[in-house]
Structure 1
């Protein structure tokens, strides 16, 4: 059901959006790049680096934002969800494909089994690197073309001329969708945590990464809000929704890693290390959200 609810919410939000939606999406993508660089100074594990920045912004984020701050806040938050989904798929393919040895091993076995290539036919290292880079780029682009959030954004942009009509006649349907999605999110969360098998070391490690993520997102969000305020007051670019709901940027800091990482890791690496990272991250995230929501409500109550 979530396969069509999230795209429907994105299409409606983009079609009836204001400029801050795209500003938040772009800001989130830049934040993820900074996050990968920061995580790379601590660990060389591509799965952990991806889990640090690619977050479960749909099933966890949308219900929290809708439940505590309402529909208008969801409109702003959808920009963060779009940016996280698009950049998450790009980084996931780049990091995990680049760290996988399975493909190169299979290719080398296939070449040796052919029996008709000599030493002169072996590509030079630069040629191999270029081929690998081009293959990664093609995989990224193919993944983006078939990514539901990307398709939903394109459909939403095509529906921009119908934005006033959708705002007038589709608001009720949009409220129902966000409520249903919040309900489904709680059900999925319960099922996910019920099946998770965790150890203390996993939770301790997840807590450390969660605290680092919260600090990075908070510092970056302050900078984004300062830029938005300057653009709003000086450059005449109106960011009314974002400035009215700045807390939606900070909520990214307490969300768990995306479940899609398991699929990406299984496809590229076949190691199975992502599951405990995501499960422990989800448990730690519950406590972080419980602490963050009242703090954000207190800070931004005015």
Structure 2
């Protein structure tokens, strides 16, 4: 049985600002990938150089489209508008590739491989121009993501459902404006929290090349980046989302007694055993409305890692509507 969140496609966002010298190699690196099934939006942030002219020849490929903001919005405003424009489907994978960087061979195929295994936020290791080291690491188990060293690389991807219901405030700086700097922290802290750390995967292969230059946000907006970093790490964590799951099991319980409340942990572990991690499972527990009070304290809870007990009422005809 295939997961309801098995990848249905791949959408690439390429945010850029004055990238005329870099955007060609960036797009060439995508075209050279051995995973050809993608669509790509070049999201231009009101460039003042020849970026649009450099992109124009690539628009002959129907997979590639162009959009330019009428006025500069900054990194997160530009990215957020591009994501809204793409409107990814829940199981569509979204990857962000900065317009001044390049993918290395096999990058897209490895991302899609991990997403097909059930992970919903995936990043790879990377090469940093002029440096031997990299930020890419796996998350520390059991430590809230906002309290960890930044361990994501520049090649990051996620499934589209994670954008549904994402609070706009979590992507903003202390003034309430979309982050111009540290926008990557703002977005991926939130996405990992909503997916759950068990649904996040690091690919320990260097599949991205990060270009260092004077216009990088970490240099050009250094003070703002540090201030936003502190602000974003101090925000309350977002709860795990409970709308989209890999699998749903339905349990019809007309008397409200089919489940042992004291054995819910063991029941959850049995469900978990039927679906390998990291797949998520929703148990739709269908009960009569008359039994609502007796189950109110138990529905809407995680009863095993990645297993969620959801309460569903029978309709008037007596059939469950999970």
| Same fold? TM cut 0.5 | no
Between Structure 1 and Structure 2, the one with more helix by share is 1
TM-score (norm 2): 0.25
Between Structure 1 and Structure 2, the one with more strand by share is 2
TM-score (norm 1): 0.26
